[in-house]
Amino acid sequence: MKTVINFLAIIVAFNFATAQDIQYVKADNGLVIREKPSRGAKNLGKLEYGTPIEITEQTNLKIDIVDDGKKIAGQWVKVRGIDAYDFFEEGYVFNGFLTEEVLQKRFKIDYEPFTVSIEGLPEKEAIKDAVNPDFDAVLMFKLEEDDKLEGKTIRIKHHQEFRTIEVFQKHQNSIAVTDDKSHSDFIDWQHYYSSWRPLKTISSNKRFKALPISKKEAKRFINVNVEELKSVVKDACGDSWAETIKDIKSVKDHPTSVALSKLFLRVVMTDLDGNKIEKIIIFEVPIDYHINKDSYAKL
């Protein structure tokens, strides 16, 4: 009897390892998962865009969904989560919003009055304020070298009634000191800040397009005392770095340059009573967003 049980266990394990039909949620606003294959069945929650799930059973129960004026045909399928932190074990979803294409979860921030998500930008962990980690009026994130904000679609999903939703963008430029032989940590000194520019909506359901930052805009800077800059570099980075910039006349003379260092988004919701709810999202930009250097100090 023990041999038979072991044999069955091997078959189950083999099927689980080889028969996984993994697909990804492609619904922009998420995909509802239900307890039974019916629109009236209990709602178990919503799967975010990019969530991987395993299809365990085809039901052949066909349904049609109208989404943004377009008819989408499909059927109910039984699925289970493949992430240890999934909120469900098994349930049913409409497979018209599933794809075999590997998708990444989007960048997303859930605020009480609204949710901000950015298409084409992968999810990221906020850099928490050590003093007040629950403070969310200003949140900072770090972009990777391949991450770009410009041209991306920013979605605002409201959770309450409102008058208007506006999104603004600005950027920060910093001084970069490059050296082929060594590397210096970031220090904080002078910066240039652009003015806030409103983003235009690209559809009626609160989608906005992030603005591009031209190389000219990424090179703008304030007037600074170059001799003071040399002193700051010497104190913060050492004599070798100070030696590399001893002959510069401006912040744009090699080996110094001006580079884009931060991008800011400001989301403003005006509620029905005229009160404004404002959130600011800050993205720290890699030094080679506009310049490509292997070693540098950013001031």
pLDDT tens digits, 5-26: 555 455 444 444 455 899 999 9
- 293 pLDDT more than 50: no
Asked if residue 157 and residue 38 are part of one domain, the reply reads: no
Asked if residue 191 and residue 162 are part of one domain, the reply reads: yes
Asked if residue 202 and residue 123 are part of one domain, the reply reads: yes
CB 277 within 8 A of CB 212: no
pLDDT tens digits, 182-205: 545 556 789 999 999 999 998 766
- CA–CA separation, 292 and 58 (whole Å): 50
Asked if residue 152 and residue 28 are part of one domain, the reply reads: no
Asked if residue 123 and residue 67 are part of one domain, the reply reads: no
Number of domains in the chain: 2
pLDDT tens digits, 239-270: 888 888 899 999 889 888 898 999 999 999 99
Asked if residue 253 and residue 152 are part of one domain, the reply reads: yes
pLDDT category of residue 77 using cuts at 50, 70 and 90 = very high
Asked if residue 124 and residue 91 are part of one domain, the reply reads: no
Asked if residue 235 and residue 289 are part of one domain, the reply reads: yes
Domain limit, last residue, from 99, 124, 154: 99
Please state which of the ranges 187-191, 201-205, 212-216, 289-293 shows the lowest mean pLDDT. Answer: 289-293
What is the pLDDT, as a whole number, of residue 189? Answer: 86
For 161, residues 6+ apart whose C-beta sits below 8 A from its C-beta are: 271, 272
- 223 pLDDT more than 50: yes
What is the pLDDT, as a whole number, of residue 108? Answer: 94
Asked if residue 120 and residue 135 are part of one domain, the reply reads: yes
Please state which of the ranges 28-32, 80-84, 186-190 shows the lowest mean pLDDT. Answer: 186-190
Asked if residue 112 and residue 95 are part of one domain, the reply reads: no
How much is the average pLDDT of 55-81?
A: 92
What is the pLDDT, as a whole number, of residue 177? Answer: 83
What is the pLDDT, as a whole number, of residue 135? Answer: 87
- 274 pLDDT more than 90: yes
- Give me 44's structure tokens: 């178990």
Asked if residue 202 and residue 125 are part of one domain, the reply reads: yes
Domain extent, residue 28, equals 2-99
- CA–CA separation, 140 and 132 (whole Å): 13
CATH of residue 26's domain is: 2.30.30.40
Domain limit, last residue, from 36, 67, 99: 99
- Taking CA atoms, 58 is separated from 40, 74, 92, 94, in Å, by 19, 11, 10, 11
What is the phi-psi region of residue 252: left when phi exceeds 0, alpha when psi lies from -120 to 50, beta otherwise? Answer: alpha
- 299 pLDDT more than 80: no
Q: For residue 3, which phi and psi values (nearest 5 degrees)?
A: -65, -40
Please indicate, yes or no, whether the overall pTM of this predicted structure exceeds 0.85: no
In the sheet that holds 106-110, the strands lie side by side as: 106-110, 114-122, 153-158, 207-209, 201-203
Please state which of the ranges 83-87, 93-97, 171-175 shows the lowest mean pLDDT. Answer: 83-87
Domain limit, last residue, from 47, 68, 99: 99
Asked if residue 226 and residue 165 are part of one domain, the reply reads: yes
